[in-house]
Amino acid sequence: MMELEPEQLTEDVLQKVDEESKYNVDLTICLDVTGSMRGLIADAKKVAFTFGPALLEKMEEMKKPINDLRVKILSFRDYTHDAEPLQSSQFFDLPEEESDLEAYIEGLEAKGGGKAPESSLEAFDQALTTTEWATNKANARHVVVLLTDAPHRSLETMAEKDISNYPANISASKEELEEKWNDDSIIDQNAKRLVLFAPAQKNWKKIANFENTTWERTKAAKGLTETDLNRIVATVCQSIGKAVNSDNNYNQNDVDTAFEEVN
């Protein structure tokens, strides 16, 4: 068997250590595509081609580089009003499949939905249970980003309704949804992160108290056009780099600090 020179051995070890120190990120974006979100969808289309590089660059600047980045889009409307209330893409490997991600987002159309609330918790639930998260990777991050400008529908009320296309496995309460969030067989408890962009309304506070959650408030029924997309990237980066923490961590100062660090 050929023996490696000490210099080559050292180089290989350093490369292995370098790879293991980088993050491997699966990012599922639950995106409200009801009518009020037209501005965000338009902006998302503009930045689809640069989102991957922007996220990778920001993490490099924070000295927390990413090795593998996969992004999936799960768009939602309202199960009580829309024929297609929930649609999901595959995972896109970035930056290699940026053009495919761009094409997918280009096909999204902001329409439908009632006055409010929307089926955002159903989207979160399905993000947990239908996503094929990568396993057996060092420094893994399984991130759910939920973007909405509306309150969510009551899971208890929806479970009692007779809606033909409503998934049978959806949680029947926030408590049941939290149990899924805390179930290691569903999502890696060390890797999980929830980044919540939702209105500062009482019915979101329970979700904001879930483990490893960052909550940035949006303005109800105003879309997210006033939210700088660079700030969304900054918040996602801050969540990826945050250590596991069971305390409430929707402290606005954390988000502001991350925003300052990467701009």
Q: How much is the pLDDT for 74?
A: 94
Q: Regarding beta strands 86-88 and 140-147, do their DSSP bridges make them parallel or antiparallel, or are they unpaired?
A: unpaired
Q: What's the predicted TM-score (pTM) here? A: 0.82
Q: Helix axis angle, 229-241 relative to 38-61, nearest 10°?
A: 50
On whether the 23-261 domain is CATH 3.10.290.10, my answer is: no
Per-residue pLDDT tens, the chain, 263 aa: give them: 556 565 554 554 434 445 567 999 999 999 888 887 777 777 766 656 677 788 889 999 999 999 999 999 999 999 988 778 999 999 999 989 988 998 998 888 877 766 678 999 999 999 999 999 998 889 999 999 998 888 999 999 999 898 888 998 999 999 999 999 999 999 999 999 999 988 888 889 999 999 999 998 877 656 555 455 777 888 899 999 887 654 555 444 444 443 343 33
Q: Where are the domains of the chain?
A: 23-261
CB-count exposure of residue 24 (10 Å: 0-12, 13-18, 19+): buried
